Amino acid sequence: MKTATVGYPCIGKNREVKKALEAFWSGKLEAESLLQTIREVEEASWKTQLVAGIDRIGIGDATLYDRVLDWTVRLGLIPQRFQQLTGLARYFAMARGKEEIPALEMTKWFDTNYHYLVPEINSDLLPADFGDYLETVSRAQKLVGKKAIPIVLGPMTLLRLSRLEVPMSEVISQLGERYLALLTALKDLGVEEVQMHEPALVLGNAEDLKEAFESTYDLLSRVGIPLHLVTYFDDLGKTYPWVIKLPVAAISLDFTRGNNLELIKQHGFPRDKRLGVGIVDARNIWQIRTDKVLPLLSDIQTLATNISLQPSASLQFVPHDATREKQLPKPLRNVLSFAEQKLQEVRFLARTISGENTRIEQDLIDSNWEAFYQFSPANQSVRDRLKALTAKDFARSLPYQERIRQQVKLPPFPTTTIGSFPQTQQVRKLRSRWRKGELTQEQYQAAIDAHIAYCVDLQEGMGMDVLVHGEFERSDMVEYFAEQLEGYTFTVHGWVQSYGSRYVRPPIIFGDISRPQPMTVREFKIAQSYTSKPVKGMLTGPVTMLNWSYPRTDLSRKEQAFQIALAIREEVADLEAAGALFVQVDEPAMREGLPLKQTRWNEYLSWATDAFRLCTAVAKPQTQVHTHMCYSEFGDIMESIKQLDADVISIEDSRSNNETLRQLTEAGYPRQVGPGVYDVHSPAIPTAESLTEGLRKCYQHLPTEQIWVNPDCGLKTRRWEEVIPAIRNMVKAAIALRQEIESTTVKFPVEFTAKESVTVENQSKTAQ
């Protein structure tokens, strides 16, 4: 029984690639040293896979920024604006932009948290150049010999993910020729097989690629090198019957997601092809469970004659090595499985199903799980509360039209922000000193409070209507809450690439979630004590908490989201009790959690909106519930957005030319919307005039009383020098608009006085 891999982490066990990249960008490292770093990291990964006993090692997925970009460049798909540049300068300009030249657009890779750069394809191509790639493959051959199997991003997936500026039929033949040349060169190197990664096949709309797939693979098969068609992230769905007939030597399917098993049972699997069985979950960090995986494997064995085993996708989605997490309690650490452990699991499964006696290893896995469940038993009170939920728990006590009458009256075009204010070096340093124990809790909080004071003062001075505390105490909107909830754990070395040199360490949900104590009330109270304007309480929603963590596998995602929702619900109630009349529950990840196939959307959307409602329905009618979503594109999930029943939704709309707003209005969105009047991702400071103009446009779309004025996302990545004039201009724009409509609207008095005044001792009201 042979084993394979289809991709491996390539950021370096100690984030070497990130460090080298950042040194290179700041001019402290030569290009040659940067390239040397990436070579060392990829060679280390080949050796790890070789030593683990993998038979077919996927080669060529190490990247300086993004794998899709690597193929875009190799294939010569260089948009005009980058054509005068060359080499690394061009590569990084495409990735990150350069002075006047905007970068390629970045978006999420399928339903993962990895981001790729979207190729733009027009007819004006440059010649292809596979030099770097062929060099990598021959280097790998020297190290691992015949086990080196090149990984190639398949032409159809590349096209599907691209922004096509010419008809597909026009590029397809040109692209086909280029892939032909690549495969011919790989054949000349003597490789035994080439992995063609075509995850686009699992998308719901892959049906319409049938003919293009057939003709392209017909062409590519003429090179005479065995092709291995690799798919992952879901089952093949409707495409299965024709995909299995493509002229390839092997097809890999994901058996950890979707239902490929059922498809094989229905349609059979061809005897003349090898089936790559993606059996070890590459998207999560839990060890296999023998009682689940062994029966599944024997099922598969009866259905296909020639199979080999592998992780379900590239292991880039998990960190390197769980054994390094020495700080974690043993019963927990022992059931974690990162890339190195997953290689072992693949080998273990291969040995087991080929008849080797692996009883001892099986017993060890089983006893690890037993020990884990003893260490982390169910939290019965959380389970009971979930069982006792009724429809009432998911609905606000009054309908929107009635509750808004009880909510704080604000002037038309009320202004607010999305929550965070600049996370300066100074703020980050504070946090790291506190974590290291160099600051006491009191010292740390006093310093945070000084930032809050500064931020509140500033917003008040600029004339904002609904203030925020600034989120200075939060490193990350998920981690901050996860750290305070029971049932979550964290790694020290568990980095995975999000994009370029940005790596994240997703928290791990390992047990039932509960909230031992309030998480945000202290900072809210401090902020409110400094002002008589209303301060908005800021929370992260359950769906985002779940989507940006590694979930557990023994409970459904819905149940986990509901558990988190219950915890956040308690926080909403506590904020309210502390005097908050505005509470925002952010759900930026709501949309990205959509399943890849539209047929499964309803199921997801129904529990996702329920989870949101479960945590917000507790709010009294007079409490105004806000939510925020970035990466909007709501067109297709509009009904669910309405279902959330939030009083106000702020969206990221500044880059899409009010497209989302248009969709909301066309759908007759009945509540208030903050369209996001300027792009926080750009350092450019919007002028009051441009903002007024932008607002005027919104106001054609929506009745005045439904419009809020806010930036399109949090301000944490910006500098104060950018934020202050931008917000000032935003307020000016709101005031200008108020004057324009004055004659036609009744004036709302601002009727808010802080309920509670908290005295904060020993605090200077200025933070530097």
Q: Which is nearer to Zn ion, 3 or 113 (CB)?
A: 113
Q: Which is nearer to Zn ion, 113 or 216 (CB)?
A: 113
One residue of 304, 477, 566, 578 binding ligand GLN per CB under 6 A:
477
Instruction: From 141-149, 256-264, 358-366, 709-717, give the range in contact with ligand GLN by CB under 6 A.
Output: 709-717
Rounded CA separation 120/107 (Å): 13
Query: To the nearest 5 percent, what fractions of the chain are helix, strand and coil?
Result: 45, 15, 40
DSSP label at residue 315: G
Site for Zn ion in 187-246 (CB under 5 A): none
Q: Which is nearer to ligand GLN, 155 or 541 (CB)?
A: 541
Instruction: From 14-22, 190-198, 702-710, 711-719, give the range in contact with ligand GLN by CB under 6 A.
Output: 711-719
Q: Which is nearer to ligand GLN, 21 or 430 (CB)?
A: 430
> Does residue number 588 form part of the binding site for ligand GLN (CB under 6 A)?
yes
Q: Which does 716 bind (CB under 5 to 8 A by kind): Zn ion, ligand GLN, none?
A: ligand GLN
> Does residue number 716 form part of the binding site for ligand GLN (CB under 6 A)?
yes
Question: What's the alpha-carbon Rg for the chain, to the nearest Å?
Answer: 27
Site for ligand GLN in 392-431 (CB under 6 A): 418-420
Q: Which does 419 bind (CB under 5 to 8 A by kind): ligand GLN, Zn ion, none?
A: ligand GLN
> Angle formed by the axes of helices 601-616 and 557-577, to 10°?
20
Q: Which does 95 bind (CB under 5 to 8 A by kind): ligand GLN, Zn ion, none?
A: none
Q: Which is nearer to ligand GLN, 533 or 591 (CB)?
A: 591
Tokens 């959690």 -> residue: 593
Alpha-carbon torsion (478, 484, 487, 488), positive or negative: positive
Tokens of 691: 């903002």
Coil, strand, or helix at residue 635? helix
> Does residue number 734 form part of the binding site for Zn ion (CB under 5 A)?
no
Q: Which of 115, 493, 681, 701 is catalytic?
A: 681
Site for ligand GLN in 590-629 (CB under 6 A): 628
CB of 383 to ligand GLN, least distance (A): 30
Q: Which does 496 bind (CB under 5 to 8 A by kind): Zn ion, ligand GLN, none?
A: none
Q: Which is nearer to Zn ion, 191 or 630 (CB)?
A: 630
Q: Which is nearer to ligand GLN, 426 or 443 (CB)?
A: 426
> Could you tell me if 416 and 708 are in contact, meaning their C-beta atoms sit under 8 angstroms apart?
yes
Tell me whether residue 739 is exposed, middle or buried, using C-beta atoms within 10 angstroms of its C-beta: 0 to 12, 13 to 18, 19 or more. exposed
Q: Which does 640 bind (CB under 5 to 8 A by kind): Zn ion, ligand GLN, none?
A: none
> Angle formed by the axes of helices 87-96 and 31-51, to 10°?
80
> Could you tell me if 418 and 718 are in contact, meaning their C-beta atoms sit under 8 angstroms apart?
no
One residue of 714, 723, 730, 754 binding ligand GLN per CB under 6 A:
714
Rounded CA separation 523/479 (Å): 17
Rounded CA separation 737/741 (Å): 6
Q: Which is nearer to ligand GLN, 235 or 587 (CB)?
A: 587
A 10 A CB-CB count for 444 gives 17
Residue 423: left if φ>0, alpha if ψ -120 to 50, beta else—which one?
A: beta
Q: Which does 37 bind (CB under 5 to 8 A by kind): ligand GLN, Zn ion, none?
A: none
Rounded CA separation 363/285 (Å): 20
Tokens of 689: 């005039």
One residue of 68, 149, 713, 754 binding ligand GLN per CB under 6 A:
713
CB of 483 to ligand GLN, least distance (A): 16
One residue of 34, 220, 339, 713 binding Zn ion per CB under 5 A:
713
Site for ligand GLN in 537-566 (CB under 6 A): 538
Which residue is nearest to ligand GLN, using beta carbons? 714
H or E element: which one contains 195? strand 194-197
CB of 584 to ligand GLN, least distance (A): 7
DSSP label at residue 354: T
Instruction: From 170-178, 435-443, 572-580, 709-717, give the range in contact with Zn ion by CB under 5 A.
Output: 709-717
Q: 264 — phi, psi (to 5°)?
A: -65, -40
Q: Which is nearer to ligand GLN, 419 or 487 (CB)?
A: 419
Tokens of 501: 């040199």
Rounded CA separation 167/731 (Å): 45
Rounded CA separation 600/598 (Å): 5
Question: Taking Cα atoms as reference points, which of 572, 645, 671 lies closest to residue 615?
Answer: 572
Q: Which does 414 bind (CB under 5 to 8 A by kind): ligand GLN, Zn ion, none?
A: none
Instruction: From 245-253, 284-292, 596-604, 710-718, give the range in contact with ligand GLN by CB under 6 A.
Output: 710-718
Q: Which does 75 bind (CB under 5 to 8 A by kind): ligand GLN, Zn ion, none?
A: none
A 10 A CB-CB count for 213 gives 21
Q: Does the active-site annotation cover 320?
A: no
Q: Which is nearer to ligand GLN, 21 or 629 (CB)?
A: 629
Site residue total, Zn ion (CB under 5 A): 3
> Could you tell me if 318 and 285 are in contact, meaning their C-beta atoms sit under 8 angstroms apart?
yes
CA distances from 329 to 26, 369, 375, 436 (A): 39, 13, 9, 20
CB of 421 to ligand GLN, least distance (A): 8
One residue of 128, 137, 509, 630 binding Zn ion per CB under 5 A:
630
Residue 43: partners with Cβ closer than 8 Å, 6 or more residues away: 139, 143
* Chain positions contacting ligand GLN, by CB under 6 A: 418-420, 471, 477, 538, 586, 588, 628, 630, 713-714, 716
Question: Which residues are marked as active site?
Answer: 681
* Chain positions contacting Zn ion, by CB under 5 A: 588, 630, 713
